[in-house]
Structure 1
Amino acid sequence: MSDTRAFQVDLHGVVDLLARHLYSGERVYLRELMQNGVDAITARRGLDPEAPSTVRIRPLPGGALAVTDSGVGLTAAEAEELLATVGRSSKRDVDLGLARQEYLGQFGIGLLSAFMVADRIELTSRSARDPRAPAVRWTGHADGSYQLVELDPTASAAVPVGSTVLLRPRRDAEHWLEVGTVVALAEEFGSLLPVELSVEVPLDESAPAGDPGRPDAPEPRPGHLWRRISERDLPWRVEHPDDGRRTAELTRYCERALGFTPLAAIDLDVPLAGVSGVAYVLPSAVPPGGSGAHRVYLKRMLLGTRVDGLLPEWAFFVRCVIDASGLRPTASREQLYTDEVLLATQEALADGIRSWLLRTLESGSGQAAQFVRTHHLAVRSLALTDDTMLDLAARILPYETTDGMLTLDEVAAQHGTVVYAATLEEYKRIAPVARAQGMAVVNAGYVYDSDLLERLARRRPGTVRPLAAGDIAQVLSPVPPERELATWDAVAAGNAVLADQDCELVLRTFEPAELPAVLLHDRDGDHQRALRRTQEEADDLWGDVLSGFAEPVAARHLVLNDAAPVVRDLLAAPRGEVFDAGLRSLYVSALLLAGEPLRARESELMTGSMAALLRAGLAGTTRPTTDDDAEEDHR
């Protein structure tokens, strides 16, 4: 037969696990102690609604730290049940009435986290449930041992109802219990707590004393004062005499909490999830997909300053500060647990921000204009999935066009059809010709624009379409028949020169005359050329696979401008090295004008053409004769 034995828990190992894998670091120890104090106060107020609600933090000489709350306190039996065994917090909290929804955490595991900074934890407590019970003192050590004693009547009488946790720092953790660090952590985690949270600080502290607290607050030590950390109300719940004052106060809070002056503040409210707060519009543009981290409080205790996933990706222009009572934290209590309530909350918050955005943009106000200048990418991003925003974007967003900066609705009103170039290279290639011919083309080569125009084309069939090669071809005037006949041989020779470039030579007349050539091609042809290059570079097996997708490739067209003097001179030149080099130079110039990168083949083509033209230009020159040359000839 075998006997049943209990696991032996290595407390050092458990604390290391907490510090390295559950919590973000030692800094959360004070959050856990404050959280325990708030929960104890909540429990006491269930017995006595008029009971005081205070948490006081006192750094002591020698590096110790005392955290005192006016909560429900513990009897000896309750302390034994709560603190004797690691890992049974949930059941014990239920048994002791500490696990209802209004509580922040679990007392046992929260107290254990203090071992991340202390070798010894001393808890002195007196119960509000049983005023006749003696006060108790529990002392826990990092080696896993503890002592629990009941104080004698005289000592018990001196202990107020509530609990005091006294920490003795580890040798390598003294800085976590220093006054400056404690004040900073208390402000970060507890500034919105629904209790009076105060820290005892030296009189020479540069920070203001703030609210002195309750009249019955204990006297500070000589040379010290109590500095109140917590605010009485949530900043967005405070009543103000008018909207202007409220906006100014919310702006000041954003500057303190988030570090920037917002363009606007958007109220957020999801009553079913107990969520309220403010979304602040950033004052400067941020890249799409940038951090959407937000400041989240859970029952007014800070959950985290960089909580992800609260809003959809298109809302990257705001940073939120919210407080929630109906959302669940993860085990570390530093992120939100994804469940149906969180998903519904995300949708409700997104709807609130979307409604504000639509309302603001439709108003045509100065704020709307400033928002569009700063956060036009957010409007474009939302328009990709929202039909209402898509129509609004077509009405208000300015686009670069060959007619200047216009909205899409303005282009449609002036030209009947919105024609857009899907890439920046395509727009650069045709812009000079289109502009000279009075043809309006929209540049859709920037972030989101091509997809947005494509979606608008599906929503407005026949009035929005991508640029086609024929759009430019139709504004290029054919040359007179006699000129076409006179240049027939030159064009044929040019086609032979450019045959290895997948390029066909065409002679037309167009404005501006200073532009000697443009390169025209379509997307399908580009795709097939890229596929063929990949096929040529791939191994036999992969090349055979790609060959199944290959189709006949439509040649690109290098359109020479017969109105350009350099083109007329070239076509009149005799066939040979200079003619070939000049034509290849025009081809490379057209490539650069289109914004295309030069591959190795085009770079070699440009270098060879320049060398040929340079040799031709130097062939007929002679060096001037000098006196030294004449003397040499005489010799």
Structure 2
Amino acid sequence: MTAEVNKETLGFQTEARQLLHLMIHSLYSNKEIFLRELISNASDAVDKLRFAALSDDSLLEGDGEYAVRVDVDQDAGTVTISDNGIGMNREEVIDHLGTIAKSGTAAFLEQLSGDQQKDSQLIGQFGVGFYSSFIVADRVEVHTRKAGTAANEGVLWESHGESEFTIEPKEKADRGTSITLFLRDDCKDFADDWRVRSVIKKYSDHISVPVLMKEAPVPAADEAEGEGKEASEPAQAQYKPVNEATALWTRSRSEISDEEYAAFYKHVSHDFEDPLSWSHNRVEGKLEYTSLLYIPARAPFDMWNRDANRGVKLYVQRTFIMDDAEQFLPMYLRFVKGVLDSNDLSLNVSREILQQDKTVDALRSALSKRVLDMLSKLSKNDAEKYAVFWKEFGQVLKEGPAEDTANKDKIAELLRFSSTHTDKEVQDQSLRDYIERMQEGQDKIFYVVAENFNTARRSPQLEVFRKRGIEVLLLSDRVDDWLMNHLQEFDGKQLQDVARGRLDLDDESEEEKQAREAAEKESEALVERLKAVLGDDVEEVRVTTRLTDSPACLVVGEMDMGAQMRRIMEAAGQAVPESKPILEINPTHPLINRLDTESDEARFADLSRIIFDQANLAEGGQLDDPAGYVERLNSLLLQLSKG
């Protein structure tokens, strides 16, 4: 059967087509990025073969000299990137080059604005990989053969980067992958030898695999002179390394520039932007390892998918083992990128072994502390950069106290919140800042949790705190209620939800105490009437110590689940424990006084329900019977209009 008969035309996945279109039309200012991406992929393919060959050296096919080759042809207008790595079979070619099986793709595409400059920046959050070829090429050929397969099992893939691609069998003598880019007219400069060399030095100098390019051919001997002498045959072109070809993390920190660190980050993360910070550390002693860890400047689109690939690149004795080794950092540090090279793990390590190895636990603990120390230094030395970090990853870090009790105090120092001290939505206040501003004799850190910032800032529960000048943290992230349930205290100060249980500010004067007790006594009859009307909708009705301006508020029982956490769990379809709110009334408010004097029981019931529902709405809650609320309110308005 001929190759032409076996040639198939297949369509790109929808998301792949959209991404291709975007890159071709938006990345006009970052064209050279394609070479970094393709060389990085080639380096990864070599790393994968290195690891596979540890258990099956026949995969090397007699060639253990790993390399990536880059060839340019100005006349043909092509650039070719070849590797002798693991290669691909037919199914893998279709999977890797015809689809984008990356979580977050849909979210990424939804963010696109149509503005070329903005969209090109978004691509850096997603990563481009092989598809970057079409930034500079109007046709791409991929010729590949998987290591260990026969020469006639090679595969040729071809596409113009539009809606479809072709795939067919094509013999390939050597293993690995060769990608040939047929350059667009406005990108022919990438067929220039010196242009390509400069890009490789800029982006790929740190890659441990040699990146080779042809040296200009030199005759084997001087040209023959005089009659009767034959000219020498032209020598074959020699390939020589263009890059340093030394794993960057194995070099001394004093030898590495910031530019090299940033370039290596882009290699391991496929990000366009420079990292915010990094930490390069070599440890000798009980544990022997080298780590190079980075804090990105921007969150990826799959940050909230806890099943997405994450973790560091793992090497053992400089031999690549796996990408995304998630066992070495906890989930709340899933944004960290980098490399771990250990001498204390076996070369034949597997994911199953990693899950049971005590050395892994020790490395995980050490790397977690290293990241937290890096963030601590960043927060103290560069507030502007830390603000960028917090905006991108703050909600992820808030998962930490529940997941990493050993480092709870370190994490707590890094947390940032909004506060009544500034009344700004930006989260820039630390728990340490709060303690430094605490009033004399104050022994608690007060906070309020709400659906959003404005609801938190305008919560009725804050009234007495504002009156007394006591600062309250304003929490509105979905994770906040869960965070505080696990944090509970900081630096010996208890964290107190202002909407939970009975409020005790410990600074009540004797005069205030007597006035409160008198109000409670005078309101006993009203409290009983309200209990009778509201029935099972409330756990209790009582006189408030929280309110100064509002007529009523709802309070959560001391041991009950917070209102925000309850709403989140209910929205997710999860069962929540049975509980009822506590209604607190302000007997000094005119509306409560009016309610107390109402003799018509039907009207009293309607007014009571309106006050109860309004207290619920003020906290961002949902009414069980919104139509009933509107009906009662309209009835009341009609009565008032009649005088």
Q: TM-score range by the shorter chain?
A: 0.5 to 0.7
Match of 2:129 in 1: none
Contact 2:83 2:178 in 1 (8 A): no
C-alpha separation in 1, matches of 2:497 and 2:170: 69
1:261 aligns with one of 274, 288, 296: 274
Q: How far is 1:315 from its partner?
A: 2.6
Contact 2:328 2:367 in 1 (8 A): no
C-alpha separation in 2, matches of 1:324 and 1:447: 38
Match of 1:321 in 2: 339
Give CA-to-partner distance per residue, 1:151-181, whole Å, 9 cap, x none.
xxxxxxxxxxxxxxxx98259xx99655349
C-alpha separation in 2, matches of 1:363 and 1:302: 30
Q: Residue 282 and residue 350 in structure 1: after superposition, are their counterparts in 2 closer, same or farther (change >3 A)?
A: farther
Match of 2:631 in 1: 608
Q: Does 1:470 align with 2:502?
A: yes
Q: Residue 340 and residue 480 in structure 1: after superposition, are their counterparts in 2 closer, same or farther (change >3 A)?
A: closer
Contact 2:277 2:295 in 1 (8 A): yes
1:365 aligns with one of 380, 383, 396: 380
Listed as ranges, the gaps of 5+ residues in structure 2 are 1-40, 85-144, 157-167, 183-190, 221-232, 423-427, 567-575
Q: How far is 1:313 from its partner?
A: 2.4
Match of 2:20 in 1: none
Contact 2:586 2:592 in 1 (8 A): yes
Q: Does 1:432 align with 2:459?
A: no
Q: Does 1:497 align with 2:522?
A: no
Normalising by structure 2, what TM-score?
0.52
Q: How far is 1:436 from its partner?
A: 2.9
Normalising by structure 1, what TM-score?
0.53
Q: How far is 1:319 from its partner?
A: 0.3
2:613 aligns with one of 574, 578, 588: 588
Q: How far is 1:374 from its partner?
A: 1.5
Q: Does 1:281 align with 2:306?
A: no
Match of 2:327 in 1: 309
Q: Residue 116 and residue 284 in structure 1: after superposition, are their counterparts in 2 closer, same or farther (change >3 A)?
A: farther
C-alpha separation in 2, matches of 1:347 and 1:510: 48
Q: How far is 1:589 from its partner?
A: 0.6
Q: How far is 1:606 from its partner?
A: 1.1
Q: Residue 387 and residue 32 in structure 1: after superposition, are their counterparts in 2 closer, same or farther (change >3 A)?
A: closer
C-alpha separation in 1, matches of 2:466 and 2:207: 63
Contact 1:477 1:508 in 2 (8 A): no
C-alpha separation in 1, matches of 2:431 and 2:47: 56
Secondary structure of the residue aligned to 1:470 is: coil
Contact 1:298 1:324 in 2 (8 A): yes
Match of 2:310 in 1: 292
Contact 2:330 2:364 in 1 (8 A): no
Q: How far is 1:354 from its partner?
A: 1.5
C-alpha separation in 1, matches of 2:535 and 2:52: 78
Match of 1:518 in 2: 553
Give CA-to-partner distance per residue, 1:503-535, whole Å, 9 cap, x none.
55445687542x2211234144679xx99xxxx
C-alpha separation in 1, matches of 2:375 and 2:81: 51
1:476-487 equivalences under 5 Å are: none
Q: Residue 403 and residue 196 in structure 1: after superposition, are their counterparts in 2 closer, same or farther (change >3 A)?
A: closer
Contact 1:298 1:325 in 2 (8 A): yes
C-alpha separation in 2, matches of 1:278 and 1:594: 46
C-alpha separation in 1, matches of 2:68 and 2:487: 58
Q: Does 1:344 align with 2:359?
A: yes
Contact 2:543 2:585 in 1 (8 A): yes
Q: Residue 505 and residue 29 in structure 1: after superposition, are their counterparts in 2 closer, same or farther (change >3 A)?
A: closer
Match of 1:624 in 2: none
Contact 1:398 1:406 in 2 (8 A): yes
Q: How far is 1:591 from its partner?
A: 0.9
One-letter code aligned to 2:298: S
Q: Residue 488 and residue 249 in structure 1: after superposition, are their counterparts in 2 closer, same or farther (change >3 A)?
A: closer
Give CA-to-partner distance per residue, 1:581-605, whole Å, 9 cap, x none.
2221111010112233322xx4254
Contact 1:520 1:556 in 2 (8 A): yes
C-alpha separation in 2, matches of 1:215 and 1:490: 108
Match of 2:261 in 1: 250
Q: Does 1:232 align with 2:268?
A: no
Secondary structure of the residue aligned to 2:148 is: helix
C-alpha separation in 2, matches of 1:491 and 1:44: 89
C-alpha separation in 1, matches of 2:517 and 2:387: 52
Give CA-to-partner distance per residue, 1:472-505, whole Å, 9 cap, x none.
6987977689988887765554443222423554
Match of 2:98 in 1: none
CA RMSD of aligned residues (A): 6.0
